[in-house]
Structure 1
Amino acid sequence: MSRASRAADDLVAQHHASGHTFRAGGIRGFTLDQGEGPPVVCLHGVPTSSFLYRKLVPELAALGFRGVAPDFPGAGLGARPLAFDYTWSGLARWTDRAMDALGIDRCHLVVHDVGGPVGFEWAITRPERVLSLTALDTLVDVASYRPPPSMWPFTVPVAGEAWLPVLRPPVSRRFFRRVGLADGSSLTDAEVDAHFALITRQDAGRAFLRTMRGFEPTAAKQAFYYEGLASRPYPAQVVWARDDPILGLPRLRAVLDALGVGFPTVLAGRHYLQEEQAPAIAAAVAELAGA
């Protein structure tokens, strides 16, 4: 085992020690959970996990919130059951059970990437449980969504299985830094490696592939999001990375339109804004919660 691999394993072990496990819907879950006060639940996308929120959760706790970042089934340190619905709808139903299991009645919700469609569905079906919504670099106009070229092979049987072994160091490091970070040196190789280890380590990425193939980019789902979010009873905001190469200005405009938000909070960064702008994101969540 290389020194970088050992360092990544050490980071995964530290991440595991900083959270706790729980059971929701009969499935073992894992979550970061720090602080006292109103819960702020942070939902991740792909190919990430709760590890992406390891900097934001302590920032939220320091501002007087309970920061919670669960792993979806199939990602991170959660279970990867074969008999599970890995569609956005299935993940939203599991999220509702996870809220119950974690003792969360109402929360401020933070969503990112395809955690957006999942979180939107949960928020639309459970509006009474949402205090506010913060959308970070996500998508709502799903009918026209197509994964970027680097992710598209994962949606195709056989191609995804062949492409997944390619996306490992050093290729994964170049990919993560190019699409995710404004300053590539802001994360060590071990931190980047830990991100990908948490996707593939338990089952060689099989559940991740099922999640990628569970996307629901349909006109009906898009209409559901727009109609449901338009009638929400809670405040919302959009926080966006200035130079996101994955979800650019058209996706930003769609999210603003769906939420009825006039303008975004734009922060310097790329797609994985949580890595470089955790204090600013926490401040934005706190400001919306106070409003």
Structure 2
Amino acid sequence: MTPRRAPAGFATLAGDDIIVDGARLAFSMQGEGDPVVFVHGTPSHSYLWRNIAPRVRDAGFQTVVYDLLGFGRSERPLGRDTSVAAQADLLPAMLDVLGIGSATIIAHDIGGAIGQILAVHRPERVRKLMMIDTVTYDSWPSETWRRIIRDNDDLRYVRDEGEFSAMLSRQLRMTVSDPESMNETILRNYLLPHDGVAGRGSFFTHQVRHYDSRYTQEISSQLPSLTMPVRVVWGENDLWQPVSYAERLCRDIPGAQLSIIPEAGHFLPEDAPERLTEQILDFLDNTA
């Protein structure tokens, strides 16, 4: 694996590169102990975990953060599937390259769909699963994203930088309860991967194009078969994924634990990093 510098001004935890199934993924693996893999969602990249993964590492765990294929600093290949189903196939391949047999998966948003698919189809690779404000069942895309998808039929957001920036900024500000949790500096670090016409086009090709609930609906009937420890953590004020979906997950998955974080929105790692880290460490330490 060859280290590769991030673009100037690009804040990332995934500063190294690894080749998995012929594709380049940006990643970082740090620490020693039981492996914990952090899987981000959309519109996001590994920057999401900057206030959390280092604390988990310092608590005695080996942490892996990476940018999903087509996201962040990872390769954005033309003509390659970057749906959650394809990402769920790529994750165990990455673990193989890293020499990790099974790991705890900490997953947010569409990362939670990847975690669900992996847990259903490759349960031997998942020691424990935490899902944070995840998409599931028929919960996605949200209504605001449905409208954006309709509005982008003529590529207006790809062509116009101002419209794109305004659109994505509005969406990102919806993900937090405390406006300061998505201040201008943080917001810019989420927008940076999509600079330029190619970046904006890649966003719709590799992310928005795959906002499709069929991937989670296809496996929903198999969730009751999960046997690994599962914890579902949700922001009480999530505007994209209502708490009712968290409750449904916990009804369907035997033994699943539910934690609702008050006064927090969809991007819990931004709104409540301390409380979320406490949940993660408790889950890692206190479940069999």
Percentage of matched positions with identical amino acids: 23
CA contact (8 A) 1:59 1:279 kept: no
Specify whether residues 119 and 215 from structure 1 end up closer, same or farther in structure 2 by C-alpha distance, changes over 3 A only: same
Question: What residue in structure 1 maps to residue 4 of structure 2?
Answer: none
CA contact (8 A) 2:142 2:241 kept: no
* Structure with higher RCO (Cα < 8 A, 6+ apart): 1
Specify whether residues 77 and 57 from structure 1 end up closer, same or farther in structure 2 by C-alpha distance, changes over 3 A only: same
Q: For residues 187-212 of structure 1, give each alpha carbon's deviation from its aligned partner in whole angstroms, at most 9, with x where no partner exists.
A: 43122111021244683232321232
CA contact (8 A) 2:84 2:210 kept: yes
Question: What residue in structure 2 maps to residue 15 of structure 1?
Answer: 12
Question: Structure 2: how far apart are the matches of 1:158 and 1:185?
Answer: 29
SS of the residue corresponding to residue 64 of structure 1 reads coil
The answer as to 2:268 corresponding to 1:273 is yes
Of residues 48, 55, 59, the one that matches 2:55 is: 59
- Counterpart code for 1:269: A
Q: Shift in Å at residue 287 of structure 1?
A: 1.9
CA contact (8 A) 1:31 1:68 kept: yes
The answer as to 2:157 corresponding to 1:163 is yes
Specify whether residues 202 and 127 from structure 1 end up closer, same or farther in structure 2 by C-alpha distance, changes over 3 A only: farther
Q: For residues 68-115 of structure 1, give each alpha carbon's deviation from its aligned partner in whole angstroms, at most 9, with x where no partner exists.
A: 221111110000001211222111111221222232211111111111
Question: What residue in structure 2 maps to residue 28 of structure 1?
Answer: 24
CA contact (8 A) 1:154 1:209 kept: no
Q: Shift in Å at residue 156 of structure 1?
A: 4.7
SS of the residue corresponding to residue 213 of structure 1 reads helix
TM-score of the pair, normalised by structure 2: 0.85
Uncovered stretches (5+) of structure 2, i.e. residues with no partner: 1-6
- Counterpart code for 1:38: D
The answer as to 2:204 corresponding to 1:209 is yes
Question: What residue in structure 1 maps to residue 37 of structure 2?
Answer: 41
Q: Shift in Å at residue 263 of structure 1?
A: 5.2
Q: For residues 93-140 of structure 1, give each alpha carbon's deviation from its aligned partner in whole angstroms, at most 9, with x where no partner exists.
A: 112212222322111111111111122111222111111110100122
Question: Structure 1: how far apart are the matches of 2:196 and 2:27?
Answer: 17
- Counterpart code for 1:167: F
The answer as to 2:283 corresponding to 1:288 is yes
TM-score of the pair, normalised by structure 1: 0.84
Question: Structure 2: how far apart are the matches of 1:65 and 1:213?
Answer: 35
Matches within 5 A, 1:235-250: 235-250=229-244
Out of 199-208 and 187-196, give the one that drifted further.
Answer: 199-208
Residue-pair matches, total = 275
CA contact (8 A) 1:154 1:213 kept: no
Question: What residue in structure 2 maps to residue 233 of structure 1?
Answer: 227
- Counterpart code for 1:190: T
